Every structure is written in structure tokens, then in C-alpha cells.
Structure 1
Amino acid sequence: PIADVGYTKQHDIGRIYAIDKVGKDKVTTTFVENVPETADAERVIRQMVADGNKLIFGTSFGYMNYMQKLAKEYPDVKFEHATGYKTAPNMTNYNIRFYEGRYLAGMLAGGATKSNIIGYVAPFPIPEVLQGINAFTLGAKSVNPNIQVKVIWTNAWYDPPKDTDSAKTLLGQGADILTQHTNTSAVASAAEAAGKMVIPYNSDMKSVAPNAQIAALVLNWGPYYAKKIQQTIDGKWDPTPVWMHYKDGAMSLEGVRTDKIPADIVKKMEEMKAKIESGEFHPFTGP
């Protein structure tokens, strides 16, 4: 769902940004939320085509096969799939190199933890999630080789009760900092209630974790949506897959709490961010 915060919320913020950028007189957008990664996705997309939509964005990994199937059936419609890897002449995919921001967030977590245990609530073991966990862990270990990152899999993108239970379990295992790849604010809320720390993903979650949040990795899809909508209007839609970098403004580490993270760690993180943006450093460099 398009909640107050989270992954889907960031995509909807991007949609609204694109309308404003391209012009309300030039584009009409519609959206359907709460679409399962099942044949329901195919049904919803077919309806979108029937309604006259000429450019369709699918924002969840599990829509991939349905979108590829329908792209073949509807060659006059353009399809864009987020976080996947399959294409067609009229279907591309787009993603953000989340791992770049995750490495930096991991550095902050590794420097701020007192227990040396960091908890990570994850949905499914798909490429983008595994990249995020690994990069976060490598970033944390780069400043604190003693840390442990403990992961709990929820097998759900959106399940607030599961997220809450997972967060409480991780806190019970000694974690004093949490992060998540799921689409709810429940992990941030659990950290706040326990008096611990959190680095939320997707959105800024200060609204539910004003004390617990020490930074937030925020995703920004708007410029990409505006660009692809404008391309379609101009008859110049580009089918080349796109994997955006931190330097492209596709994500940002916001609200870094210098009162809770040592100054030398923040400085190291800023230096590393510059190296990642320049291409001098890649988070997965090494043995």
C-alpha cells in the first residue's frame, strides 16, 4: 500500500514529481496499490492496457514474468520493471544501486553500535536484498571489525506484525541498531519503543522514530519517472536498462545524527561517499 512512508510511498512521490515536471496537461497517470506478485498482477496490467495506458511501470520484483509475457502481447505499450532483469523490445528494467548507500549506512551503524550486534529485517533473498545486506555488513566491518549483522527473513514485503516481531527478536538477541528492507515503518517503531537506534530504508521515518533514527537511506525515483514519461511523449522511449548510482541523486543518506554517531565515523563515511561517487571505490571490492 501507499502508506505514510516506505518503498511504495517513494514510488508514488516519484509519480507526483513526474506529473509536476512533465506537466499535468501532457500526462495522465493512474495507479493500483496492494497488487500481489501473482496472476493478479497480470490481471491489473491487462486492465491498465485496456484503459489506454501506453507506459506501464511495475515496481515489485515479482511482477517481472507477468510483465514480460504481456509486453509480447501488447507491442504498442511500453513496460518498465523495477528491480528485475528480464527485457523485451518494448520492456526495460530500472533499478538503483542500493548497495552504494547501504555500504555508507553500514559504516554509520558500525560506528554507533555499542553491543556490536546489528539487526536486519529482510523480505526475500533476491539479488537487490542480498546486495544490500552484504554491502551494509561490509560497510559496518570497515569501521568496526567486531560487528555481527543478524538477519531475519519475513518472506513478505509488507507485513507490519511480522516486521515488529522480527525487530523485537533481533533486539532480544542484543542488537542495539536495526535496519530493514521491508515496506513498513514497524522496525523503526520497534526501535523507538525499545530506546534503541535505527537506520530506516526507503523513507525518512523520523515521524515514528524521532529519537531512534540516527540516519535514513531515502530513495528518489522522481527524476527517472519524469525522464521516461517525457521520452514516451516525444516518441523517443529508450529501452536500455538503467541501474542508477548514488551520484545520480537516486538515493541519499539523510538526517545523520552527529550526537549519536562518532565524528570520526561520520567523516570517514563522507570521504567514502565521495570515493563511491567518483568511482574510486566499489563496495564489493576485495577478496
Structure 2
Amino acid sequence: MTISVWLLILIILALVFDFLNGFNDSGGIAATIISSRSLKARTALTITALAGFAGPFIFGVAVAKTIGMGIAAIHFFTIQILIAAVLSATVWSIITWVYGIPSSSSHALIGGLIGALVVSCGVKVLITKGIVVIIIALLFSPLAGLFFGWLVMKIIYRQLRNATPRANVFFKIGQIPTTIALAAANGANDSQKTIGLITLGLITTGYEQHFFVPLWVIVICAVAKSLGSFIGGWSVIRTVGTKFYKIKPIHSFTSQLSASLVIITSSIFGGPVSSTQVLSMSVIGAGAGSGCRK
């Protein structure tokens, strides 16, 4: 098998992973606005897909650089290591989709990459600083989503304590820009992980000499994820949108705004996060801030 064929396999697997990632994440992103009955499901998923495509072009490729240069020195990577990482993460994504579980494709992909590296080269090749940054981003971003969801809801409730029910109109309309922001943030962070892997694949097979992300790599990864988002994950919509508590427009607005702030900030600084976990925790935080119970 020639090197070029290995690269083609990597690209195909990465695009399948991106598609499945979008398929699962679109349900989580669109769940709150659908469950609050502010938009129809197909409209929400269309908005999610378009905004998600634009995300990597808006917020840059800092996360891709973290994946490509923050875990281990580039010369330790091989095309087989990259394929093993994407394949393991793809299998996990399929399992979670079958059972309708909101899951972290980010954890699966990064864990698969680190695991393949350790098996092939040993623990010593890992960059401690980079691994710590990644772990902090993955572990603390959901907690940040929980906190900001709670905090923003408390602030809104305090400011609107004397408001009439007509205030719901603002939140119903306001969910549209927050949905767009959240989808763009999700696209920016999640697509960059496979963008980083494909770029590493280009380097390991000699097509690139340095870590430079070609435009076509950004485009194909964004398209794959957006296509998955458009088709949507209906089982995940039901899980995130209905199993916590009865979501109203104010909860949807607050949770999406909070999650967007966390994910966008992480994307700008190159921190890979699980958008699904951040949003789910933001939903819980918003509910706690308003005193909701299921």
C-alpha cells in the first residue's frame, strides 16, 4: 500500500468522523431552541449547518495547531498513528449515535491520538505542557458552561424581576443569533481537530514540510461537519432538549449565550473542548439559576 493511499484513507476517515460529529452535535446545538418551540426543527438544523460551516473561517485554526504541535513533536507522528486515532474515535461516535447518547467526540479523538502515540512511541514523546493545556480545556470548559449558565440566568432574572410576560418575545427572537453564534463556535472548535489531523497527515506523507493548514482542508472538513449537522441527530435533540427540565425561551437564550462565550474563547486560544458537554452543562446551569426542576 503506497503512502498516498494511506493519506486518502486518513482523509476519508476524518471526513466520516466530521460528518458523525456534526450529526450528533447539531442535535445538541439545536435542541434548546427547538424544545422551547421558537423554531421548527428543520429550520434550526439548517441555521446550525450554515453557521457551523462558517465557524473555522471566522475564528481561525488555533485549535488545529494545538492538535498538530501541542501533543507531541511532529516527527513522532506517522500516518498509521493518525488513522488509528480517527478510526477509534469514529467507532465511538457510531456507538453513541446508535444509543442517542450526547457524547464528546473531542475526548474520543484526542484520547485516541494520545493512545496511539503512546503505544507507538512511548509516554516520553508527549509534550507535558500541551497535554496539560488540553486536559484543562476539556475538563474545565463544561464547568465554565455550568457557571456562566447559572450566572447569566441570575443576572437576567434580577434585571427582569418586574418584567411582564411580553419579555419572552425578546428571548424567543434572541435565540436566533445565539443559535448562530453557538453553531459557529462549535464548527470552529470541532472541525479544527480533524483539520489538524489531516494537516499532520500531509506532513507525514511529504506533501507539506511545515504545519500550514491549506484552505482546501478547512473547506472539506467544514462541509463534512455541516452536512452532518443538516441531516441532524434527532435522538440527541430529544435527550438534551427534554430530559433535563421544561425549556423555555429564556433558558435556551441563556444556555446558548453562555456556551458560545466559553467555546469561542477556547477556540481563539487554541483549547479543544467538547461543545456538547459545554452546552449540556450550560443548560443545567441556566435551569439551576432559575430554580427549575424537571
TM category (shorter chain) comes to under 0.3
Higher strand share: 1
- Give the TM-score, by structure 2 length: 0.26
What TM-score does the superposition give when structure 1 sets the normalisation length? 0.27
